[in-house]
Amino acid sequence: MEFVNPLTGFRLDGRRPNEMRHIRGEIGVVANADGSAMFEMGNTKVIAAVYGPREVQNKSQQLSNQALVQCEYSMANFSTGDRMRRPKGDRRSTEISLVIRQSLEASVLTHLMPRSQIDIFVQVLQADGGTRSACINAATMALADAGIPMCDLVTSCSAGYLCTTPLLDLNYVEDSAGGPDVTVGLLAKMDKVTLLQMDAKLPMDIFENVMQLAIEGCKAVAQYIHEVLLENTKQLESRRGK
Amino acid sequence: MLQSKSFVKKTKQGRLVKVVREHYLRDDIYCGALSCTSCDTSAARLSPPDSASIIIVDTNVVLNQIDLLENPGIDNVVVLFVVLEEVKNKNLAVYNRLKSLCSNSARKFFVFSNEHHRDTYVKEMVGESPNDRNDRAIRVAARWYQSHLGGQANVLLITNDKENRRKAVEEGLSAETVESYVRSLGRPDLLDLVALPNSQDLNMADVEDLRPSKRKLVYIEHKPISEITTGLVRGIFHQGKLRVNRYNPFEAYVGSESIGDEIVIYGRSNMNRAFDGDTVAVELLSQEQWQEAKSSIVADDDEDEEEDVHLVPNSADDAPRNSDPAQIASGALNPVSSRPSGRVVGIIKRNWHSYCGSLEPMPMPAGNGGIAHALFVSKDRRIPKIRIQTRQLGNLLDKRIIVAVDSWDCLSRYPSGHYVRTIGEIGDRDTESEVVLIENDINSRPFSAQVLACLPPLPWTFSPEDLANPNRQDLRHVRVFSVDPPGCKDIDDALHCTPLPNGNFEVGVHIADVTNFVHPGTSLDEEAAQRGTSVYLVEKRIDMLPKPLTEDICSLRSDVERLAFSVLWEMTPSADIISTRYTKSVIKSCAALSYVEAQARMDDSRLMDSLTTDLRNLNSLAKIMRQRRLERGALTLASAEVKFQIDTETHDPLDIGMYQIREANQMIEEFMLAANVSVAEKILSHFPLCSLLRRHPSPTKEMLEPLLRTAAAVGLDLDVSSSKALANSLDHAVGDDPYFNKLIRILATRCMTQAVYFCSGDLSRSEFYHYGLATPLYTHFTSPIRRYADVIVHRLLAAALGISTLPPVFQDGPQLTSIADNLNYRHRNAQMASRASVELHTLIYFRKRPTDTEARIVKIRANGFIVFVPKFGIEGPVYLMRRGEKNGEWMVDEVHQKVTKPGTNITYAVLQTVKIHMEVVEPQPNRPKLELTLL
């Protein structure tokens, strides 16, 4: 199948290979939570809520020198076309929960909050490829909203390789083509990679190109999140009346 | 700007799912006109001259008039994205042609992504059909072009759809039909290329009126698609690809999965307008009708279709199916055929393309404005005659032309089509050679500039940097030589044989290192993959790789340093392989011998030089290896290859004779086989899932049937249980005359199928077996200059040795399979083309030389027999009685394969020698054919 039209150079949805989908982020969407955010990448829409730092509920898990970070990923039953009823805690969501937790833990300054716990809940409201990346981005924003100390923002973006072209930010159709899908999580300012996943084989030189493309994507996302956060801070500032 | 497209889709389980896709609209899509001031013109293509206009075509114009669009007379065409997509969905072949048109830099075709442009995207309106929506999108795009370009250029919409044209004119666009547009160009030659609109149109009705007898239905109407789908589901109809018998166009087979057998279809009316290769729906006939259908074929046989004299088939794939009309006519022989027979009720997918042939001779009609209707006869006998309309009949009658099919409706006996182009005069050697190439889908165009750009700078010489590569071994000091047919310029293999101090020999096979120059992913590589193999015609060679590579850089010529890929064995004097080593190397061949020279050196006992000693050593090793191979059960099959002597000036054949096989040939063959086997083992052990190997399936009992029948008729009992048993019984099949054994071997050869390439991941290990060579593994490694398979194997071997990485294509199983399929297809076509070329030259040779010669009878028929002429490697029918006469005075004995004339003692039995006369006759003007008559 032609995922990139050889004559026009456009992808199926009209993007160029190095273009991302529209992204949109919003902070403070769940009033109950300490911090929350909604993040959209095209038709992929996820919501994240952060609770904490708070007292550790299960004392046996308590860490004396750092905070405990927990993450729960779930997909709403209505998030995909077929509205399937999904069991909770299946392999895939356990894996994604772990991935999100690990890549975010790299930026949270956990040693500042010993004997406490931070809970991150992410839920996919609408899935159209790249849910992993969208979840990380939403969780980062929610953590920032909750005022949890972090050394940098972790942002994520995926890139694939189809029709001998590296493609940025695969949507569901491109994702299900079965080609390689590289998801990168990046500490944008420090230029450090916190997450790198790929479930296919790719020659080394091509892989480097694809990964570089995903990194560019992460940086673009970071830029956008910065703007959103800055705007949010300005509003808070004006509300305080200064 | 964002639009979302949403539609409802049915899943495989039958549930309805709403699908929502994003659809981005952009403002950075350019119009593609060079004169445009507001757009980026770096990729612009369109530059209409003052009087001409930019034309926008609709989907049906592309689908029906692709031949016209391909003509350089049509240019400055905007292909809208919506048209491109519709064409892709309707006809992939046309889509590919359109794609190559649009990417051809010499043509001014521009693809405009109207679906992604902010101003030209249209949303489907309520109650609007997709077709109407697309028509509207085309008009909106045309209007956008008109306003965007302002007065700079005219925009003309070309559509044959009346409604669309009317709406376009209402909206202030200029719109025309294809015909009126072509007329306005003032190029009458282009008019012939215009495909006729559907036969329901007025135009066609005139024609039908001229032949009132044909007004009645000739064929049964095809069932509507909905009925076919329900029929397929309910099991009344069966779907499959129709294959017409190459030797009897009135018989076709449909391989059906639903009944797990081939359905036979007899006669054109049962085939119901299906062409070879069409996907059709078939209805089974009731059992009583099977026989009826079979015999009706004779009555249907009103066209004069006779079997021609042709080359002796080399394998079962070339040979006629063993159901000759003679058997069908005397139906009593096989009571009720076990095979189901059926008739076509509908065509699911057409496989129409263009065909090569000539017009049926006819008188020039008077008047009619110069337009004449003519019947086109394809060279491929499986294709029915095609009716075309032409304005240049006088010109075309003695020409080979290409014709494309447009439609076939049930009122007309023949399909109608249109003229595409002329190849040349019938009978002219160049024309007929080109016909051979076109018929076999062989690309003989010169290599494109992009491909040539991938060549190393010329003149190429060996540089010390090549040696600096640690993976490349310097073997220049070794006494390497090559042995090839005389005049061979693409030398891809060379050998050496050095005695070692311990009494063993080091034997090396050096193969041209083509992959050092052909890198994966380059256009050179893609072109070679597409061509698959070099094609050898009698008078020329069509290369797989450009000439500098084929004849110079890669060719292992003598006295120059060349890069090679070497297989080195240590062998004992009794030809046991002690060790095998593979390496890239540099060699300097000391002699490029021909088979004759090599043989002469070995035979000349006075010569004691080192080269001759090497040759003798190799020969003795080869003899042992060959003996061992035969003991394992390898078949020595014989083919009747002929060789022409060609006049250097006129390129006409001067002499014709059997190709002689010498010991030297067998020696080289033996080492090449050994190298191939060694390489196959190596690559399979490293890449068990993605190696390219070659297998030869064992022939089935059914395939060997004709051989057994013939053998039984002469009182010979062949054991065909295994290749070893067959090899043994072939060895024991000696008759009174020396040629008998060879004849039996030739007959055996034609029962075998051909060996095929495959990807090792697709089959299980037991299926890898090569029947003919009796080896469990085989591949092709030794001719990378002329076979692409060898190029792939070279890459695999290099990767297995860790010299280079494996190109990504090998990780893609389906793609590897499709490469193997393409190689098989190209390989087969190349062989067919070579055979056709030899047939053509045989005809040219006998044109001036009627000859009397000896022939052997190979098959008895009701009205004569088929003879094989060993001297010229051809076979053909000899008729004992005229066509139409029922076997009057001759008695045919099918069991003993014998014809007798009662009352006399004249009998002809199979394998008997007869004297025949060969002469070229022209029963119809411009249709020469070789005729064999009994003396």
Tell if the CB–CB gap between B2 and A6 is shorter than 8 Å: no
pLDDT for res B297: 46
Sort out which chain A residues have CB atoms less than 8 A from B813's CB and list them: none
Other CB atoms within 10 A of residue B33 CB: 24
Q: In angstroms, rounded to a whole number, what is the distance separating the alpha carbons of residues B98 and B80?
A: 12
Q: How far apart are CA B155 and CA B174, in angstroms?
A: 7
pLDDT of amino acid B293: 55
**Would the CB atoms of A171 and B15 count as touching at under 8 Å?**
no
Asked whether the beta carbons of B220 and B272 are under 8 A apart, the reply is yes
Q: What is the per-residue pLDDT across B553-599, written as a single tens digit (0 to 9) for each?
A: 888 888 888 899 999 999 998 888 899 999 999 998 888 888 888 88
The per-residue pLDDT for A56 is 93
Q: Provide, as residue numbers in chain B, all residues whose Cβ is less than 8 Å from the Cβ of A82.
A: 11, 15, 17
* CB atoms B811 and A81 under 8 Å: no
Q: Give the Cα-Cα-Cα angle B694, B700, B704 (nearest 5 degrees).
A: 110
- Is B17–A82 a contact, with Cβ atoms under 8 angstroms apart? yes
Q: Which of B107-116, B244-253, B761-770 has the lowest mean pLDDT?
A: B244-253
Q: What span, in angstroms and rounded, lies between the C-alpha atoms of B509 and B790?
A: 14
Number of residue pairs across A and B with CB atoms under 8 Å? Answer: 56
The helix, strand and coil proportions of chain A, stated in percent and rounded to the nearest 5, come to 35, 30, 35
Sign of CA dihedral B617, B621, B622, B627: positive
Amino acid at A226: H
Report yes or no: B269 and B221 within 8 Å, Cβ to Cβ: no
Using CA atoms, how far apart are residues B606 and A233, in angstroms rounded to an integer?
102
How does pLDDT run across B136-175, given as a tens digit for each residue?
999 999 999 888 887 778 888 998 888 888 999 998 888 8
What region, left, alpha or beta, does residue B760 occupy, with left being phi > 0 and alpha being psi -120 to 50 degrees?
A: alpha
pLDDT at residue number B701: 76
Quick one: pLDDT at residue B203? 42
Nearest-5° Cα angle at B347, B344 to B350: 130
Nearest to A225 by CA among A174, A153, A167, A128: A153
Residue B893: pLDDT above 60? yes
Say yes or no: do domains B2-185 and B850-934 share a fold. Answer: no
Name the token pair of B697.
């399936």
Q: Note whether B195 and B67 are within 8 A (CB).
A: yes
| Residue B149 Cα, gap to closest chain A Cα (Å) | 20
* A13 CB within 8 Å of a chain B CB: yes
- 10 Å CB burial of residue B541 (0-12, 13-18, 19+) is middle
Instruction: Tell me what pLDDT residue B321 has.
Output: 46
pLDDT for the residue B364: 67
Q: For residues A113 and A119, is the Cβ–Cβ distance under 8 A?
A: no
- Facing B24 at nearest CB: one of A8, A14, A82: A14
Comparing alpha-carbon positions, the chain A residue that sits nearest to B10 is: A82
Q: Which of B792, B797, B784 is nearest to B534 (CA)?
A: B784
> Between the ranges A31-45, B469-483, B519-533, where is the mean pLDDT highest?
A31-45
Task: Give the closest residue to B587 by CA, choosing from B514, B516, B510.
Answer: B510
Tell me the average pLDDT across B381-400. 82
Lowest mean pLDDT, pick from A169-178, B330-339, B597-606, B634-643: B330-339
The A residues from 161 to 220 touching B (CB cutoff 8 Å) are 164, 171, 173, 201-204, 206
Per-residue pLDDT band for B852 (boundaries 50, 70, 90) equals confident
Query: How far apart, in whole angstroms, are the C-alpha atoms of residue A63 and residue A58?
Result: 11
Kind and range of the H or E run holding B140: helix B130-149
> Is the predicted pLDDT of residue A195 greater than 50, yes or no?
yes
Mutation site for B-interface testing, chosen from A1, A5, A209 by largest number of B Cβ within 10 Å = A5
Can you give the pLDDT at residue B885?
A: 57
Identify which of B556, B567, B584 has the alpha carbon closest to the alpha carbon of residue B785: B556
Rounded average pLDDT over B381-407: 83
The amino acid sitting at B298 is V
Indicate yes or no: CB of B23 within 8 angstroms of CB of A203.
no
Query: CA angle, corner B849, sides to B848 and B852, nearest 5?
Result: 155
Report the alpha-carbon angle A39-A44-A47, nearest 5: 40
Alpha-carbon gap: B92 to the closest alpha carbon of chain A (Å): 12
**Which pLDDT band holds residue A102 (cuts at 50, 70, 90)?**
very high
The C-alpha atoms of residue B105 and residue A53 are separated, in whole angstroms, by 64
Average pLDDT over residues B409-417: 82
Lowest mean pLDDT segment, chosen from B536-545, B559-568, B627-636, B854-863 = B854-863
CA distance B782 to B672: 6
Inform me whether the pLDDT recorded for A124 exceeds 90: yes
> What are the E-state strand segments in B513-625?
535-536, 541-542, 561-571, 577-594
Whether residue A81 and residue B102 make contact (CB cut-off 8 A), yes or no, is no
CA B87, CA A212: separation in Å to the nearest integer?
Answer: 36
Q: How confident is the model at residue B208 (pLDDT cuts 50, 70, 90)?
A: very low
Residue-level pLDDT at B719: 78
Kindly state the greatest CA–CA separation across chain A: 62
Helix, strand, coil content of chain B in percent (nearest 5): 35, 25, 40
CB-count exposure of residue B779 (10 Å: 0-12, 13-18, 19+): buried
Contacts of B876 (CB under 8 A, 6+ apart): B307, B308, B309, B310, B866, B867, B869, B930, B932
pLDDT of res. B67:
84
Interface test with A, best of B22, B23, B118 (most A CBs within 10 A): B22
Contacts of A207 in chain B (CB under 8 A): none
Mutation target vs A (from B24, B112, B795; most A CBs, 10 A cutoff): B24
Q: For residue B550, give the DSSP letter.
A: I
Can you name the residues that pair with A93 across neighbouring β-strands?
Answer: none
Give the architecture-level CATH label for domain B235-349.
Beta Barrel (2.40)
- Please check whether residue B359 is in contact with residue B377, taking contact to mean a CB–CB distance below 8 angstroms: yes
Relative to beta strand B174-176, strand B154-158 is parallel
d(Cα A160, Cα A183) in Å, to the nearest integer? Answer: 9
User: What is the predicted pLDDT for the residue at A234?
Assistant: 93
Among partner residues A171, A202, A206, which is closest to B22 by beta-carbon distance? A171
Region B609-625: mean pLDDT is: 89
Interface mutation vs chain B, best among A7, A82, A198, most B CBs within 10 Å: A7
Q: Are A218 and A156 a contacting pair, CB within 8 Å? A: yes
Percent of chain B with pLDDT over 70: 86
Put simply, the chain A residues between 73 and 92 with a CB less than 8 A from any chain B CB are 81-82
Structure confidence at residue A161 as a pLDDT band (50, 70, 90): very high
Q: In what order do the strands lie in the sheet with B248-256?
A: B261-266, B248-256, B237-245, B279-284, B342-349
For B69-93, the three-class secondary structure string (H helix, E strand, C coil) is HHCCCCCCEEEEHHHHHHHHHHCHH
Q: State whether A7 and B2 contact (CB < 8 Å).
A: no
Gap between the Cα atoms of B688 and B761, Å rounded: 7
How many other C-beta atoms lie within 10 A of the C-beta of residue A84?
Answer: 10
Of B81, B408, B46, B59, nearest in space to B222 by CA: B408
Q: B806: nearest CA in chain A?
A: A203
B436-440, B561-565, B739-743: least confidently modelled range: B739-743
Superfamily designation of domain B2-185: 5'-nuclease (3.40.50.1010)
The pLDDT of residue B332 is above 50: no
- Asked if B44 contacts B34 with a C-beta cutoff of 8 angstroms, the reply is yes
Residue B690 and residue B683: Cα distance in Å, rounded?
9
Determine whether the interchain pair B22/A82 forms a contact, defined as Cβ–Cβ distance below 8 Å. no
Q: Which residue of B has its CA nearest to A206?
A: B808
Q: What stretches of B579-721 show up as alpha helix (H) in DSSP? A: 595-603, 610-632, 663-686, 701-713
- Please tell me which of the candidates B19, B21, B808 has its beta carbon nearest to residue A13: B21
Q: Are strands B505-512 and B535-536 parallel, antiparallel or unpaired?
A: unpaired
B873: left (phi over 0), alpha (psi -120 to 50) or beta: left
Report yes or no: B844 and B429 within 8 Å, Cβ to Cβ.
Answer: yes
Name the minimum distance, in Å, from the CA of B353 to any CA of chain A: 23
Mapped onto helix, strand or coil, the DSSP state of residue B394 is helix
Alpha-carbon span B865 to B895, nearest angstrom: 14
CATH 2.40.50.140 fits B850-934, yes or no: yes
What integer pLDDT is reported at residue A115 of this predicted model?
Answer: 92
Q: Is A116 on the interface with B (CB under 8 A)?
A: no
Contact check, Cβ <8 Å, B103/A6: yes
Give the distance from residue B110's alpha carbon to the nearest chain A alpha carbon, in angstroms.
Answer: 9
Of B22, B25, B103, the CB nearest to A43: B22
Flag if A14 and B17 touch (Cβ within 8 Å).
Answer: no
B813-847 helix and B429-439 helix, angle to the nearest 10 degrees:
150
Q: Which residues of B touch A78 (CB under 8 A)?
A: none
Q: Are B290 and B336 in contact (CB under 8 A)?
A: yes
Give the model confidence (pLDDT) of B233-256 as tens digits: 888 888 888 888 776 778 888 877
Least Cα separation, residue B23 to chain A (angstroms): 5
Query: pLDDT tens digit string along B796-808?
Result: 999 988 888 888 7
| Contact status of A241 with chain B (Cβ, < 8 Å) | no
Mean predicted confidence (pLDDT) in B810-816: 80
CB contact under 8 A, B24 and A201: no
Q: What is the pLDDT of residues B644-690, one digit of tens each?
A: 777 766 667 777 776 777 788 888 888 999 999 999 999 999 888 88
- How far is Cα of residue B779 from the mean position of the Cα atoms in its chain? 21
Q: Examine the pLDDT at B508 and tell me if it is beyond 70.
A: yes
Mean pLDDT confidence for A11-31: 92
First to last CA, chain A: 58
- Sign of the Cα pseudo-torsion (A124, A130, A136, A139, in order): negative
Which residue ranges make up each domain of chain B? Answer: 2-185, 202-217+352-426, 235-349, 449-678, 701-752, 850-934
Write down all domains in chain A, each with its CATH number in brackets. Answer: 23-240 (3.30.230.70)
State which amino acid sits at residue B108.
K
Token look-up 């040693």 returns: A111
B836 φ/ψ angles, rounded to the nearest 5 degrees: -65, -35
Closest C-alpha to B237, from B293, B271, B284: B284
Q: CB contact, 8 Å: A45 with chain B?
A: no
Structure tokens, A81: 């076309």
Give the model's pLDDT for residue B318: 55
Q: Say what the ipTM of the complex is.
A: 0.91
Total residue count of chain A as it appears in this document: 242
Distances (CA, A) of B437 to A111, B313, B443, B833, B924: 77, 19, 7, 6, 24
Question: Under an 8 A CB cutoff, do A128 and B22 touch?
Answer: yes
CATH placement of domain B202-217+352-426: 2.40.50.700
Q: Chain B residue closest to A41 (CA)? A: B22
CA–CA dist A84, B498 (Å, integer):
72
Per the prediction, chain B carries an average pLDDT of 80
Residue found under tokens 């990485």? B805
Q: Which two tokens stand for residue B277?
A: 């290769």
**What distance lies between CA B87 and its chain's CA centroid?**
25
- Determine the distance in angstroms separating the CA of A201 from the nearest CA of chain B, rounded to an integer: 8
CB A184 within 8 A of CB A211: yes
Mean pLDDT of B767-771: 87
Query: Looking at chain B, which residue has its C-alpha nearest residue A20?
Result: B24
